[in-house]
């Protein structure tokens, strides 16, 4: 599952489970959109110190299990994930932009679980 992150100044195991609904709970998350989201999250992992342990989607919402270092706040993590994935989905799946308008993932965020362990 997850690994403990060892850095020179800290050791942490910080995980978040986010459920992000689409705007107006529109059923636009197809297999193609889900693949774009997963590919985008892999690229996000390369640029930022956050690791996507699991990504799952239903027709109207997306689940993320993210492990991060303490240098990112909860708000920063969500802002990064929502903005970059929305840009990529709209660029690579233009039919979603026609249906949803300017916004893909809604601000109705549900943080299901978070845990922090220091050793």
Q: Say what the pTM is.
A: 0.81
pLDDT attached to residue 107: 65
Provide the pLDDT for residue 68: 87
pLDDT the model gives residue 84: 95
Q: How far is CA 19 from CA 5, 16, 34, 63, 74, in A?
A: 24, 10, 14, 5, 13
- CATH number for the region 10-112 comes to 3.30.70.1290
pLDDT at residue 8, as a whole number: 76
Q: Which pLDDT tens digits describe the chain residue by residue (119 residues)?
A: 557 877 777 777 788 898 999 888 889 999 999 999 999 999 999 999 889 999 999 999 999 999 988 888 888 999 999 999 999 999 999 998 888 887 787 765 555 555 554 44
pLDDT of res. 1: 52
């Amino acid at each position: 599952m997850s690994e403990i992150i060892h850095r020179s100044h800290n050791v942490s195991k910080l995980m978040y489970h986010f459920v992000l609904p689409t705007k107006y709970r529109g059923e636009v998350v197809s297999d193609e959109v889900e693949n774009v989201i997963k590919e985008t999250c892999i690229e996000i992992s390369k640029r930022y110190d956050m690791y996507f342990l699991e990504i799952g989607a239903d027709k109207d919402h997306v689940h993320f299990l993210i492990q991060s270092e303490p240098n990112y706040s909860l708000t920063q993590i969500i802002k990064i994930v929502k903005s970059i994935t929305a840009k990529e989905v709209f660029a690579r799946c233009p039919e979603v932009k026609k249906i949803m308008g300017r916004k893909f993932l809604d601000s109705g965020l549900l943080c299901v679980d978070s845990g922090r362990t220091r050793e």
